Amino acid sequence: MSAEPNGPDDSTQRELERRALRGVRGLVDKLDNMDQADRRSQRKLFWWIVGGALAAVLVLAGVVTYYSGKPSGGMIEIQAPRK
């Protein structure tokens, strides 16, 4: 088995290999772009969740502060039973 070029058959084989490599490279680029978009989407979702949690904590703190400063009705006096 010799490694000598066979003329047109060899150039045709090389052209097919080049096309295949270009196709693979295109697929790799496409996958990389999809991964980057997924990472961006996940980062955005993370910050929306953090923002929502922070807003919920602030609302809860406001409600607690509002009700803790408000006087509660009147005082109730409980008398001990007489003996």
Cα 75 from Cα 79, distance rounded (Å): 13
For 19, other C-beta atoms within 10 Å of its C-beta total 10
Assess if residue 82 is contained within a domain: no
For the CA atoms of 41, 43, 47, 49, what is the dihedral angle to 10 degrees?
Answer: 70
Q: What is the residue whose two structure tokens read 């400063």? A: 69
pTM tops 0.75, yes or no: no
In sequence order, the 6+-apart residues with CB closer than 8 A to the CB of 5 are 11
Boundaries of domain holding 36? 9-66
Assess if residue 83 is contained within a domain: no
Number of domains in the chain: 1
Q: Split the chain (83 residues) into runs of 10 and give each run's mean pLDDT.
A: 63 94 96 95 97 98 87 74 80
Q: What is the pLDDT of residue 1?
A: 45
User: How big is the CA angle at 31 (ends 12 and 25), to the nearest 5 degrees?
Assistant: 20
Assess if residue 53 is contained within a domain: yes
